[in-house]
Amino acid sequence: MLVLLQCLLAIVKKYGEAAKRAQTAGFDAVEIHAGHSYLISQFLSPVYNDRTDEFGGSIENRTRFCRMIIDEVRSQIGPHMPIMLRLSADEFVKGGNTLEDTLKYLEYLNDEVDIFDVSCGLNDSIQYQIDANYMKDGWRSYMAKAVKEKFGKPVISMGNYRDPQVVEDTLARGDCDLIGMGRGLIAEPNWVHKVANDQECMLRKCISCNIGCAGNRIGGNRPIRCTVNPSVLEGDTHLGRKVNKNCNVVVIGGGTAGLEAACSAAEVGCTTFLLEKKDVLGGLATEISKIPAKHRLNDFPVYLQRRAAALDNLYIFKNVEATLEVIEKFNPHIIICATGSAPLLPPIAGLHENIDKEGGKVESILSMIKHVPDYPEDMTGQKVVVIGGGAVGLDVVEFFAPRGAEVSIVEMMPAIGRDLDPVTKNDTKCMMEKYNVNQLTSTALQEVKEDCFVVKSPEGEVYELPFDHGFVCLGMRARGQLFAELSDAFVSDDVEILNIGDSKRARRIIDGTLEGRNILNTLTQMGYLQ
């Protein structure tokens, strides 16, 4: 026991030393992180803390370690430097601290704290800690308000703040005194500057996809990236560069990859032409955003379109089929193929005959999106079967399960949602448990009938899964035919042809965005940019 106490005292000392270094370095305040399953949080939370000594059991005991740290920090930095305490006000875990519990234990921590930074969630509820994309802007502000009302000290509110008006409203209501923003500033480092200078329409809002940030940092221990900001580290430095000679760029496809490529090329002075065969821009991102839980995704194509509209040297042609004859008229120096992807439909018996048939029960993700307004809110008793346990299939599950439908999801691999970021993966797991979704892994689709799927179990049993609504979500396939045709047609010309985004290989938006921005590398290699 003595050894343990000595270890704790040594850790407490390190907190104080770290705070002193921050003060010496010129920081204005120090923050002690007491939430999100970090060490202090583990002492505070009954989920983790099952100790029976003076550091466990009662609220007073569970706060003892944190109090020691606060006192040590104060002794090191003196009375004038503010101390902030970050906390998980509601842990959103069974048996964990609720908001009411937190208000009680903060009574033991209040004295030397100047500002409370009010967050929430633990690792086991990470979809609340790092907000899932369907969470509303500023949804946590009620927690900050409760802390402020009880202790009368400045509070910071965190939680999906993207819309400047929501920020203004939250502050005006007095819910908090300060707004904290993390992922939002990764997506848009100039968020504050743009809002202050009436450039709100040009905000590159975080879409809370959690792929490049949480997915890379937590899920893969890789450098942080961002789906909507392809230049997290270097920033938009290309805006200060210009081509040194005329360069005509033709971009085929107005999805997110194509729009990013077109905007980036035009911003450095290329005469840029974007051809889109449909009457809308945004590609699959625009379509997926029609699913209610994915509405935030639409912020990205909207931003890209506004960015494009501000460029006088970017010409957009909708409802135009990009034939070789059309492309040649623009005298291109660079052609970028960004034709996207389409649902993957392998040669499975009955699939092509039944999918997306007028009046039929078997649909692809695109057909499901088309009919989103038509599905009743209450689908109790209706059977929904989804083939494919990737992100697309789970989008379908997420839509129907809360409506009361009896949902089954079939995945050929041993696990569902293998490639999801940790936030989405945990949220999906909780959702499927909540709504009793029938998860059939290591199960292969054998045949598609008009009202049932024939599947094969891991044990080799072949049986039918009847449905009222059946969805085949086996991923997407690249639309790469045009790139091959272009490569053949311009083989003898001094024209660079690039294939980007899903047109190259069906992946995530983040990959297409980066490849779109990489047009700058091509321009440099070709001598147009120094």
Could you give the residue numbers annotated as active site?
Answer: 38
Q: Contacts by 186-195 with C-beta closer than 8 Å and gap 24+?
A: 186/213, 186/224, 186/226, 186/229, 186/232, 187/226, 187/228, 187/229, 188/229, 189/229, 189/235, 195/164
CA–CA separation, 425 vs 419, rounded Å? 8
Number of neighbours of residue 241 by Cβ within 10 angstroms:
16
Q: What six digits make up the tokens of 426?
A: 């945990």
Number of neighbours of residue 464 by Cβ within 10 angstroms:
13
CA–CA separation, 338 vs 479, rounded Å? 9
Q: SS3 sequence, 320-383?
A: CCCCHHHHHCCCCCEEEECCCEEECCCCCECHHHHECCCCCCEECHHHHHHCHHHCCCCCCCCE
CA–CA separation, 11 vs 267, rounded Å? 51
Query: 417 near 428, Cβ under 8 Å?
Result: yes
Number of H helices, E strands in the chain: 21, 20
What is the chain's alpha carbon radius of gyration, rounded to the nearest angstrom?
A: 27
The 10 Å CB-count burial string (b at 16+, else e) for 260-283 is: bbbbbbbbbbbbbbbbbeeeebbb
For 295, which DSSP code? G
User: Looking at the DSSP assignment, which residues form a beta bridge with residue 271?
Assistant: 248
- DSSP states along 93-130: STTS--HHHHHHHGGGT-TT--EEEEE---GGGHHHHT
The residue type of 352 is H
For 312, which DSSP code? T
For 79, counting Cβ atoms within 10 Å of its Cβ (0-12 exposed, 13-18 middle, 19+ buried), the class is exposed
CA–CA separation, 270 vs 247, rounded Å? 5
